[in-house]
């Protein structure tokens, strides 16, 4: 056993993110690219190392291959520590069988031995699918100062969105008085961000108790937190004010990406004080050909642009051939756009080939708003034939 750890993080990265549709056909949501060169999980991992947390268990389940290889030894986030570091924790068999993770609480329950092997004072529960920067160490100090059993990170959300979150009410000093998951009639607009700090002993007891409850859905927000509140444990709300986004739908994913094109984006990754680490491959600098035109866009290393790119984001290793126009679009890593293509408001997945003369985002002829706010999505690893036409708001996916 190593040195006693103050805090170990458990990062829930097993979710499919099914509302991202074609984008999560082959990868888990935390492994989806964001902002050109990042993957969604980069934000949580960077926050961990930025907060001095050097031991992180990453709970994977859905389509883990890319996530596993992306995280590797954790060295890209300086998390390749002896006696700590990143540990990928998939569900596993044990004597008497084994099972998939049945919910967030069950996933952590199945890995209690990982936590106890580090013997921490606190456990930080995170979800790997949010875009934000946060100093968890400040939340940890708040937790310790209040002698809390559990601290939940919260932020104010617009009232009309409150029903989508775990909503809680807190007294002046931060002590939580009530909590309800996705309430029909929210009595406050303080939303849980799905970030919890538990005292380690309490977490073990709470999860064991939850496991034994046949009526529980094994979810932190649904089951564990309400039960602990009822039991009179001291739960505190840590108020976070900053950028935090759940890019759980195509529409929110698209708009969160596109916000980065603003002169002063609400989430300013370009601020040198914000250090988001990622597992970058070595690609050559971008090559902007003589015939190319690039305006109001983000472009990453390894790209080669011969066509026109306007209001768009090109991830690493993307090639845009001559005569093509990429407008209001997001192209994920390794994708090739052939000659004379037109892309309007499209998201094209990783390692996809778009054959020449294709048109993604063909305006719909009939009246009425197109589905998905008109955002066209092509899944990862597709090969679109020459002259493919996809109507706006459509999803192209083999499955």
**Where along the sequence are the contacts to another protein (CB under 8 A)?**
35-37, 76, 263, 269-270, 275-278, 280, 282-292, 294-301, 304, 309, 313
Q: Toward another protein, which CB reaches closer, 86 or 89?
A: 86
Q: Toward another protein, which CB reaches closer, 313 or 320?
A: 313
Q: Toward another protein, which CB reaches closer, 202 or 353?
A: 353
Q: Least distance (Å) from another protein to the CB of residue 358?
A: 23
- Using alpha carbons only, how large is the chain's radius of gyration in Å? 22
Q: Least distance (Å) from another protein to the CB of residue 233?
A: 40
Q: Least distance (Å) from another protein to the CB of residue 161?
A: 29
Question: For 127, which DSSP code?
Answer: E
Q: Least distance (Å) from another protein to the CB of residue 10?
A: 25
Q: How far apart are CA 224 and CA 249, in angstroms?
A: 26
Pair of tokens at residue 110:
């199945």
Q: Least distance (Å) from another protein to the CB of residue 314?
A: 8
Pair of tokens at residue 88:
């990928």
Q: How far apart are CA 198 and CA 86, in angstroms?
A: 20
Q: Toward another protein, which CB reaches closer, 36 or 174?
A: 36
- β-pairing, 55-59 vs 38-39, is unpaired
Q: How far apart are CA 267 and CA 265, in angstroms?
A: 5
Q: How far apart are CA 265 and CA 296, in angstroms?
A: 13
Q: Least distance (Å) from another protein to the CB of residue 354?
A: 19
Q: Least distance (Å) from another protein to the CB of residue 275?
A: 8
Q: Toward another protein, which CB reaches closer, 114 or 283?
A: 283
Q: Toward another protein, which CB reaches closer, 199 or 279?
A: 279
Encode 36-72: b = buried (16+ Cβ within 10 Å), e = exposed.
bbbbbbbbbbbbbbbbebbbbbbbbbbbbebbeebbe
Q: Toward another protein, which CB reaches closer, 159 or 287?
A: 287
Q: Which residue has the tokens 């888990």?
A: 28
53 phi/psi in degrees, rounded to 5: -95, 115
Pair of tokens at residue 124:
């930080």
Q: How far apart are CA 246 and CA 20, in angstroms?
A: 11
CA distances from 34 to 42, 87, 131, 187, 330 (A): 9, 23, 9, 34, 9
């Amino acid at each position: 056993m190593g040195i006693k750890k103050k805090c170990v993080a458990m990062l829930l990265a097993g979710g499919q993110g099914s509302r991202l549709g074609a984008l999560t056909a082959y990868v888990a949501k935390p492994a989806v690219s964001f902002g050109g060169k990042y993957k969604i999980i980069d934000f949580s991992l960077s926050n961990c190392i930025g907060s001095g947390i050097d031991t992180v268990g990453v709970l994977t389940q859905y389509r883990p291959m890319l996530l596993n290889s992306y995280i590797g030894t954790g060295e890209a986030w300086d998390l390749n520590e002896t006696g700590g570091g990143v540990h990928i924790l998939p569900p596993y068999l044990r004597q008497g069988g084994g099972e998939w993770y049945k919910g967030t609480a069950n996933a952590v329950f199945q890995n209690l031995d990982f936590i106890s092997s580090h013997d921490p004072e606190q456990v930080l529960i995170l979800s790997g699918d949010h875009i934000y920067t946060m100093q968890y160490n400040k939340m940890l100090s708040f937790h310790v100062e209040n002698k809390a059993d559990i601290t939940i990170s919260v932020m104010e959300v617009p009232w009309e969105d409150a029903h989508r979150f775990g909503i809680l009410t807190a007294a002046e000093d931060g002590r939580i008085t009530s909590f309800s998951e996705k309430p029909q009639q929210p009595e406050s607009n303080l939303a849980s961000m799905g970030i919890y700090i538990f005292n380690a002993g309490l977490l073990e007891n709470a999860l064991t108790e939850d496991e034994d409850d046949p009526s529980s859905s094994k979810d932190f927000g649904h089951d564990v937190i309400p039960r602990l509140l009822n039991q009179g444990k001291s739960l505190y709300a840590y108020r976070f004010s900053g950028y935090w986004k759940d890019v759980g739908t195509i529409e929110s994913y698209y708009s969160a990406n596109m916000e980065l094109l603003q002169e002063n984006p609400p989430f300013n990754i370009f601020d040198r004080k914000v250090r988001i680490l990622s597992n970058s491959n070595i690609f050559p600098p971008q090559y902007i050909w003589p015939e190319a035109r690039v305006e109001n866009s983000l472009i990453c290393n390894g790209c080669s642009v011969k066509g026109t790119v306007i209001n768009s984001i090109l991830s690493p290793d993307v090639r845009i051939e001559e005569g093509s126009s990429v407008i209001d679009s997001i192209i994920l890593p390794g994708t090739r756009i052939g000659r004379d293509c037109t892309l309007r408001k499209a998201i094209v997945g990783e390692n996809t080939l778009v054959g020449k003369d294709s048109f993604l985002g063909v305006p719909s002829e009939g009246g009425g708003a197109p589905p998905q706010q008109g955002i066209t999505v092509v899944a990862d690893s597709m090969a679109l034939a020459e002259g493919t036409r996809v109507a706006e708001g459509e999803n192209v996916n083999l499955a």
